[in-house]
Amino acid sequence: MRVVEIRRYPVKAMAGESVESVLVDERGLDGDRWYAVWDDEGRMATGKDSRRFRRRDGIFDFRARTTPDGVRIEGLDAEVDGWTVGDPVLDEALGRHLGAPVRVLPEAGISHQDAAPVSIIGTASLDWCREHLDVDADVRRLRTNLVVATTEPFVEEKWAGRTLRVGEVELEVSRRTERCRMVDVAQDGLPEQHGWLKSLGRERELCLGVYAEVRTPGTLHRGGQLDLRS
């Protein structure tokens, strides 16, 4: 097994970026979900409502990427201007688009991660979804950090409690990842996908992929081989 893609999301809920390598520490991939868009109610803009999150689907109209000058936020529509986080007009522009006063803020006290530092999906699991659920199964809909080449669907779920070593990095797989409406919404240049979440509820208890904790920090590289340990 090897890592075939590494994905990072500099601003929570916005489209992210694919990278060749990345530093990993106890918090997760360096820069992943480091920023979030916060409203005056103290909730983060995402695609769902909860105690921490406020559903603001307009957030999906933007992409965040890492540049030498900082995190750059751009509209997926080419006509929308781009800004670097820290630009004084950024919050105002996003607020107009989202219909509420918001601020782009770094993580401080409240984690921007959903449930764990790192998320993983196997390619065979995505292939199974395409074949059996009649969906595009584009990994961008899952906002997963690591895509791993596998030959058995859902084999990653059998890794719970075990350690994955990739180069110098060690990850302990903790549990399955429960999905929400995010898998169906239009995002990252993808159209709305009808029925993936409903099918996952019927076939997979709404779960797809796994979460992992970082046990040994280091640098992850695309193409790195995975060593599964007990």
SS3 of residue 133 by DSSP: helix
Position 21 scores a pLDDT of 97
Judgement on whether residues 71 and 98 belong to the same structural domain of the protein: yes
The boundaries of the domain holding residue 64 are 34-106
Q: 106, 122, 148: which is the final residue of a domain? A: 106
pLDDT of residue 109: 87
How many domains does one find in the chain? 2
Instruction: Reduce the DSSP state of residue 180 to 3 states and report it.
Output: coil
- Residue range 143-190, pLDDT digits in tens: 999 999 999 999 999 999 999 999 999 999 999 999 999 999 999 999
Query: Among 49, 83, 106, which residue terminates a domain?
Result: 106
Same domain flag for 97 and 207: no
Cβ atoms of 167 and 220 within 8 Å: the answer is: yes
Model confidence at 142: pLDDT above 70: yes
Which pLDDT score, from 0 to 100, does residue 76 have?
87
What count of residues does the chain have? Answer: 230
Last residue of a domain, one of 106, 130, 163: 106
- Pairing state between β 118-122 and 146-148: parallel
- pLDDT, tens digit, for every residue of 177-222? 999 999 999 999 999 999 999 999 999 999 999 999 999 999 999 9
What's the mean pLDDT in 28-51?
96
C-alpha 218/C-alpha 168 separation (Å) is 6
Same-domain pairing of 79 and 190: no
pLDDT of residue 230: 78
The residue-averaged pLDDT of 26-35 equals 97
Mean pLDDT of 112-128: 96
Task: Note whether 99 and 44 are same-domain residues.
Answer: yes
Local confidence band at 114 (pLDDT 50, 70, 90 cut-offs): confident
pLDDT of residue 128: 98
Residues 162 and 210 in one domain: yes
Residue 87 and residue 127 in one domain: no
Domain co-membership, 56 together with 163: no
Which H or E element spans position 95? helix 90-98
Structure tokens at 177: 């990842």
Going by the DSSP 8-state scheme, the letter that residue 143 receives in this structure is: T
Count of CA atoms in the C-beta half-sphere (13 A) of 182: 28
Residues 42 and 58 in one domain: yes
- C-alpha–C-alpha distance, residues 134 and 72, integer Å: 35
147/222 same-domain check: yes
Residue 210 CA to residue 218 CA, distance in Å, equals: 20
Read off the pLDDT band of 80 (50, 70, 90): low
If asked whether residues 24 and 39 sit together in one domain, one would say: no
**The pLDDT value given to residue 79:** 61
- Other CB atoms closer than 10 Å to residue 1's CB: what's the count? 18
| Tokens coding 89 | 């007009």
CATH code of the domain containing 150 = 2.40.33.20
The whole-angstrom distance between residue 207's C-alpha and the CA centroid of its chain comes to 15
For residues 145 and 118, give the distance between their C-alpha atoms in angstroms, rounded to a whole number: 6
Do 76 and 140 fall into the same domain? no
- Is the pTM higher than 0.85? The answer reads yes
Note the maximum CA span of the chain. Answer: 51
Could you tell me if 128 and 214 lie in one domain? yes
**Residue pointed to by tokens 């995190």:** 71
Looking only at the bridges linking them, the beta strands covering 207-216 and 44-46 are unpaired
Say whether pLDDT at 64 is over 70: yes
